[in-house]
Chain A
Amino acid sequence: NAGVTQTPKFQVLKTGQSMTLQCAQDMNHNSMYWYRQDPGMGLRLIYYSASEGTTDKGEVPNGYNVSRLNKREFSLRLESAAPSQTSVYFCASIPGAGGNRGAHDEQFFGPGTRLTVL
């Protein structure tokens, strides 16, 4: 049981390049999330998926797209990377699919992807 896994661990891009960050969980969780972590700002939600086949915007969605490929996988795509997207990206998941239970579920986090855009 690996929990939440993310690839790659590190990536350097040039401005304008595209890439996809991969996230997978093997806990049969319903909801998945993408956050970015920046110094002094904590973690901010980019997108989330409350269940397979659905995605919704979070606090900072501009410049990103997501795909909930199946119940296990939730990918984050940067179509045209910008230096402002230099950050550490975390994927997380919870068992719940919304409703009261989702309010109390613990979020399980992956180890993160450190992205630098030059």
Chain B
Amino acid sequence: GDSVTQMEGPVTLSEEAFLTINCTYTATGYPSLFWYVQYPGEGLQLLLKATKADDKGSNKGFEATYRKETTSFHLEKGSAQVSDSAVYFCALRTDSWGKLQFGAGTQVVVTP
């Protein structure tokens, strides 16, 4: 079945450092790929998405490129901020009923 694998956290880095979170997937169809972010005590919010191979999603300084050849959708940000401290979830969707398959989540801690 479909699955998503994310790097384990927590990832701790200093403010203004480069942030990257690896995500790889296994899917039988042609999935849409998503990154969701969860701030402490809140629900999940969509950060960015890509719907086909080679698409790049971007939002709030974050980017991720849909790489079909490596089945990856790594999240990157050039200069992390303290406010980026959160849990990040990679997810995929292959069916038309909107169901998402999530990775385990990666906690990111950015220190001043």
Give me the interface of A with B, judged by CB distance under 8 Å: 4, 31, 33, 35, 40-45, 48, 50, 56, 58, 90, 92, 94, 96, 98-107, 109-112
Contact = CB atoms under 8 A, between A and B. Distances in A.
Residue in A58, A92, A107, A111 whose Cβ sees the most chain B Cβ within 10 Å: A107
Given A41-B104, A42-B104, A105 B98 contact: yes
A4 B4 CA distance: 26
Contacts, number: 73
A71 B11 CA distance: 40
Interface in B46-79: 46, 49, 51
Contacts of B32: 103-104
Contacts of B103: 42
B96 A99 contact: yes
Contact of B98 (A40, A44, A103, A112): A103
